Each structure stands twice: as C-alpha cells, then as structure tokens.
Chain A
C-alpha cells in the first residue's frame, strides 16, 4: 500500500518543484508549500490540480473497517453545507451556509471552538441564489482565510484570531439578485472569485482581488465585447468555431448576451506551470434559447452558439486574460452548467506524456483536453444516457445534434432530454494518481422540455422553460459512482445507488479509498480499484460537502465530513415509500471526525 502512494506523491511534489525551479510558478508559495504537506488541506479539492485526493494512506483498504467516530461538532444550520473544511496547522476551518459563519476548530483538543466569525449580511433578503443557500468553500493563504458571503461580500480574516484583515462590502449587484457562492482560489497575490445568478439572467464574471489589501485587480465577463471578456492577442482557442470576431457578442442574438448568464459558481483549478486557471461557466440565460437566437433562422445552432456560457474557460491567473475557451454545449437550452472542477493530470496517452484536463461534464460526456491548447484528445463518450447529441465532431469540436432534444417556445422537445439538468453536477469529483482513475457520481434522468414566453425582470427568475415526463433514463439506474480511466477512455467500474441517486461530493485517498455519502444516509468507504464497499456508517443525514482527510496533531490520519440536508430534498409524505431516500436524510448539520482505534 505504501509504495505506490509514496511514488505518486513524490511525482506530484517533483512536478511542482520543477515548476518552481523553472521560475514560471506564479502560484502562491504558501499555498504550494501547504499542498506539499500531505496532512494539510489548504484548499477545496486539496490541490491546485483539483484532484480532491489525500496522499495519506494510514487509513486504507485493509483497516478502514475499523474506522470509528472520534469526535463531533454541531454546526447548527438547517441548510445545505457544501463547503469542504480546511485544515491548516492544527486548526480546522468550516464555513456554513447563510447566515455564513466561519468556525475555527482546535484539533488539539477534540474539536474545541477556537473562534467563530459571523458577518452582518444586510443583503441577505435580495441574495436569492438559485437552489438554496450555498457557499462552496474557503481559501487559505499567508495566515488569512478568504470567503464570499452569499450576499456578495468578500472577507479576509486573520486565521489565528478571526479578526477582519480586510473586507469588500459588495462585489455584486444585489438589485439583479447577483450572489457569490463559489470557493475562492488564491494564486500569487490574487484571490480569484466568480459570481452566481444564471437562473436570473446575471452576466457571469471572474475577478481578482489583492490578498493583502482587497483591492480589485481585474474583472472579466463570460459574454460581451472583447475588452470586457479579457480577449486580446493571447486568445488562441483551438477550434474554428471560436475563432470569430467578438465571440461574446457575435454569437448572440441582439443584445441577449447582457442577460446570457455564464456565471462562474463552480470550482477553479490552476496549473502552476502554465499559470492558467480553469473553470466552467453556468447555463445560458434564459434557458429558453428563443431569447438568444434569431427567430428567423432558429434553431441556428452554428450561428448562435452563445459564447461563453456552458463552456470551459482558461485564463491567465495573473492578468485574467482569456487564453482559450471551448463551448461544451453551444446554445445550451438544457441547464448544462459546468461547475465541476476541471481536473488537471499528466498522463501518458499513446506513448506520449500529455498535460490534460479530465472532465466528466455535466452534459453527460467524458472529455479529455490538452490543457495548454484546448484540443479534445479523446473521443468524448457518454458516461450516462445522453440523448441530445450523437457524439462530438472531432474536427470541429462541435456536438452532432439530435434535433429531437431541441425545443422552442410552446413547442416541446420531440424526444426526452437526457441527462436532465446534470449527468454530473457540482459535487466534487476526485482523481487518484495511484489508480490513475477519475471518480464521480453519475446521474441518469430524462425529461421533456418546452419553452415559455416571458420578460426579463431584474432579480427575478429568468428560465422561461417547463419540464414534464421526468423519469429515470434507460438501464434501470438513477445514480452511479463511476471510475473512469482517462487513458483507455472507458469506465472501469460503477457502483449503483441502492436508493435515490447518491449525487454527492466524493474524495479519494492514497489508501485506495473513495469516501462519500449515499442517499441511504450512509457515509462509506469504497475500494478505489474495484468499487467494493468496505465500510459504512449511518448518520441519518445527507452529505452535501466533500469529505477531507488530514493528519491530526497526534500524527494520526483522520477523515472528516459534515452531514446536512438541502431544503430542496424531497419531503416525506404519508405514502412515501419505505425505502425512499427522503427517509434517510433529516435536517441538521453535524461535523463527524473519524479515525482508527
């Protein structure tokens, strides 16, 4: 067990050291140093590459069955807690959903509270995020903890005391109900954040702030004129469809790019070698594409691909410039946001070492990109039922459309649209350098879509679609934990949900464990090599954040996870089935810390 993991870890360390020696690393040195310390968790998804992988292996496939609760901590929220905790030094940092509170928990004494910070949130009434009160993580660097409140404040706290170092009272426009829900990323002297509001016609952006002063360095949009998108001489996308003048304007009908969404509410990843950071943008707004394309020529899929919502963007982390971009779902009418982390890996394909992005995308397709150029280097394959395309044209990078999935105002899609909303939503994925596999929770559902008429009203819901005939896709499953080999470009194993969909964050460890929760209310450890369930623990709650693993002050390995429930989880009614997932997930939020005896 030890050998392969050590080797894998050494490779990661060597790669980063090499980058530092080359002098190209604009990464934050402190964040890099913490990432190289295997017992620490300095950022969501553990490292810049978004592996969500712990190099610890003292808890492993042989002894995980002995795992037991060491201590718990009550967080007191009734909402969905989606932020993975951080561990820096001997302190764990936990961010709760609104009213956002940061807890610093001392690990030396079984989780005693060191300090807590709850900001005033005057904008809470207007901050109506699409799907509940999400906040997806904290960032740490140089003795400071950074986070966004739901109502668009950006805080830097002293990590030791909880005192405010600086505070930006509003990075959003609350009058259009713009919010911030994503986890910040620290690169160099910048803390980079993005906005939320794709369901309310909010135009997406990312922005950087100085980590010491809070001063805004740059802000670039996902749509609009070149100068507002950070498109200049360095913009060099791989496919012809992106080599068009003013893509953020010319690919939209009229002025529709102004409400075109493409918000940046998901996880960021960063490549220290190239100094590029990567993120996916939200659905296009409104979902009804009749408001974003020319009615004379609709559907006009080639003419109005609506760049860059439902897309993957690569930007320079220092300057914010757009370097390349790719539309996963051009003209996205089906809510195919791409918030999941773009996993960065160096893998050997056809005998060549390739620097890639691995992305089990929300639109149901499994992609491997060259992360420097944006070229798709695999044959993108569906990992779940996908009805909206017949594949991706490798020459153009554009999907081969199935017109049966298209819909119009008052004209439903001829066929079912699969996946429904997400084949793999924001829930953290994981990549294990030990097994070389990518792990994610796939969903298999379908529905029929129809467009409805409406007007943009600032701050109000701007979807203009309805759905019907919601059902599981073919194959007899609704959710499945999948392990994919990005080299062979195929699924290695799958573990289907016994109830519900198991659509929740997961993480991987060098002990060959996949850790995460299920819709049966179980926290579990699964063998990363074959999908065998090795250990379960029933909490009676739901699992909305990624587990973490860390070394305690006693030098022992621990696993932590918070149970919490989403307000949108289905209700338990009189005739709800005995094995319905809703019966296993009760309201409440508890931090569990597990360890070996």
Chain B
C-alpha cells in the first residue's frame, strides 16, 4: 500500500509540474540563457535554469522526438508571434522556431530543435547529457557538447601528500593487495592501474566503506578509520600512473 500511495503522490506532483509549465509556455515566449557547469562547461538553459538538449536523430531542422519521447523530452516551445529571447553570450541569429505536428512552435538553436528533460528536476541537473549517445547539452555555438572540462582535483602540499601515500600504501598492502594485486594489477578484484572509475572519489569511498559483498568486495567501514580509508583511497587514486588527487579524512567521515 505504501508504494502505491507514493506512486500517486509522484503522479500528482508531476501533474502539477506539467500544468505549471504548460501555463508558462502559454504566457511567455521562450527564453534561452547560458550557464556554466563544472563538468560540461558553458551550455544552454531555459528561463528557469533547466538544461536544454539537442537530439542527434533530428534531421534537417525537423523533430523526430514524438509521442512517448515528448514525455521524457518536452520540446522547448514558444508562443506564436512572440520571439524567443536570448541571454548574454548567445547568438540571437542562431535562434529560430519550427512548427511541430501538433501545431506548437518548438524553439531551435543553430537549426537543432531544443528539449528539456523530464528527469532534470532542478536547475543544475544535466541528467540527460549523453544518454544513449543521442541527447546532448548545447554549446553557445549550437554544437553538441561531448567533452568534459578538466575535473577539479584536490591537491595537498608535497610533504603531506607523501605521508598520506605512505600510510595508504601500508593499509593497501595489509587489506587490499591480496585481491587487487600489490601493483594494482588486479586479481580476484578489479585492476586499479589506469582504472578511470577511480576518478569518482564518492564511488571509491562508498565502495571501501560499504563494500559490494555479493560481488567480492568486503565492507571496510567497521574495520578501517577515516584516516586509513582516506589514505588508501588517495594511494590507489595516485599510484601506478593514476593521477586523480587526494581524498580527505573529512570527506570519508561525511560519507559514513
């Protein structure tokens, strides 16, 4: 019963959102703005800061996102007779509209019909980015964004980092090397040398703290201290050619 009540609630709130956005689309022309995302750089958003996407299957300025697709990817629509407005950094000359099969006007940028994504529930979400290699955030020049900007890496002073790496090495040899290999080459457990998954420090911390018990990784949260986990996480992220930056004990403590 609990599940069906929450389903109903979600359905109702979605309905409210749907009605609200419908009203907005009716009362104003569309607005395009530019925002800067830490991972994807500058990309288009709407007047509420929601991410805007293009669909690679759209050809010759026509939208091929129809029917069920528009539930996931609501077209960015504008009002007849009302020009879309563009924010700073965007080229008004690239903005246009096309008429969809249902008669609504869909905003285009550099010829790409534009969409928002239903599962982006707040400004700043980019959950639709690269989905299925078919939906992409849009750059100020109207291109699909596919490259990440360099991630911010936590760096420690050299001496401090050396101490962290030494302690991490010790912890690694004691608890991890048996499965992951003393040179991070893997064994029963995954290889660490050159493993890009280690770039995600939240993933690394969660894996060490909670393990993945049915798939071979013990939970170390009860066995190792925050400092030990930060040390070993830093060690595996910065050895054998890896260069992903330090993990701090405070970050581990916050994850518990």
Q: How far is the CB of B199 from chain A (nearest CB, A)?
A: 10
A153-204 CB contacts (< 8 Å) to partner B: 199
Q: Which residues of B contact A213 (CB under 8 A)?
A: none
Task: Please tell me if B189 contacts chain A, counting CB pairs below 8 Å.
Answer: yes
Query: For the complex, is A244 an interface residue (Cβ under 8 Å from B)?
Result: no
Is residue B29 within 8 Å, beta carbon to beta carbon, of the partner chain?
no
- Chain B residues lying within 8 Å of A300, measured Cβ to Cβ, are 68
Q: Are B134 and A295 in contact (CB under 8 A)?
A: yes
Quick check: A470 and B7 within 8 Å, CB to CB? no
- CB-based contact B131/A290 at 8 Å: yes
Q: Which residues of B contact A572 (CB under 8 A)?
A: 223
Task: Tell me whether A403 and B65 are in contact (CB under 8 A).
Answer: no
User: Contacts A297-B68, A408-B119, A569-B218 given: A128-B132 contact, CB under 8 Å?
Assistant: no
Chain B CB within 8 A of A567 CB: yes
Which residue from chain B places its CB closest to the CB of A451 in the assembled complex? B127
Assess the B217–A568 pair: CB atoms within 8 A: yes
B197 contacts which chain A residues (CB < 8 A)?
454, 460-461
Q: Count residues of chain B with CB under 8 A from any CB of chain A.
A: 48
Taking the nearest CB of chain A, how far is it from the CB of B3, in angstroms?
5
* Known contacts A132-B216, A296-B57, A421-B214; 13 further A-B pairs (Cβ under 8 A): A79-B188, A128-B188, A129-B188, A131-B215, A296-B72, A402-B7, A404-B6, A410-B119, A452-B203, A466-B206, A567-B218, A569-B213, A573-B222
Cα distance A153–B215 in the bound complex, in angstroms: 23
> What mask results when residues 557 to 588 of chain A are scored 1 for a CB within 8 Å of chain B, else 0?
00000000011111111111000000000000
Q: Determine chain A's interface SS by DSSP, over half rule.
A: loop
Closest to A78 in B: B178
| B178 partner residues in chain A, CB cutoff 8 A | 567
Does A592 touch B at the CB level, under 8 Å? no
In-complex Cβ contact of B188 among A133, A293, A460 (8 A): A133
Contact A573:B223 (CB < 8 A) given known A296-B69, A567-B178: yes
Contact A128 B3 (CB under 8 A): no
Q: CB distance B72 to A295 under 8 Å?
A: yes
CB distance from B63 to the nearest CB of A (A): 11
Residues of B within 8 A of A568 (CB): 211-218
Q: A253 contacts the other chain (Cβ, under 8 Å)? A: yes
A130 close to chain B: CB less than 8 A: yes
Binding site for A on B (CB under 8 A): 3, 6-7, 10, 55, 57, 65, 68-69, 72-73, 119, 125, 127-128, 130-132, 134-135, 178-179, 185-191, 195-197, 200, 203, 206, 210-220, 222-223
* Cα–Cα distance between A576 and B223 once the two chains are bound (Å): 9
- A interface, size bucket: 35 or more
Instruction: Evaluate contact between B68 and A130: CB separation under 8 angstroms.
Output: no
For residue A300, give the distance in angstroms from its CB to the closest CB of chain B.
Answer: 8
Shortest beta-carbon distance, B130 to chain A, in Å? 7
A569: nearest residue on chain B (CB-CB)? B218
Residue of A whose beta carbon sits closest to that of B7? A404
Contacts A295-B128, A571-B219 given; indicate if A128 touches B191 (C-beta within 8 A).
Answer: yes
Whether A398 sits at the interface, judged by CB under 8 Å, is no
Which residues of chain A are within 8 angstroms of B135 by Cβ–Cβ distance?
A: 295
- In the assembled complex, 7 residue pairs joining A and B whose CB atoms fall closer than 8 Å, in A order, are A131-B216, A290-B132, A295-B132, A297-B68, A414-B6, A567-B218, A571-B222
Question: Known: A295-B128, A297-B68. Contact between A460 and B191, CB under 8 A?
Answer: yes
- Complexed CA–CA distance, A506 and B217 (Å): 24
Distance between Cα atoms of A75 and B14 in the complex (Å): 60
A105 interface contact, C-beta 8 A: no
CB distance from B42 to the nearest CB of A (A): 20
Which of A297, A387, A468, A576 contacts B69 (CB under 8 A)?
Answer: A297
Q: List 9 A-B pairs, minimum CB-CB distance, nearest first.
A: A295-B131, A295-B132, A573-B222, A296-B69, A131-B216, A573-B223, A410-B127, A568-B216, A297-B68
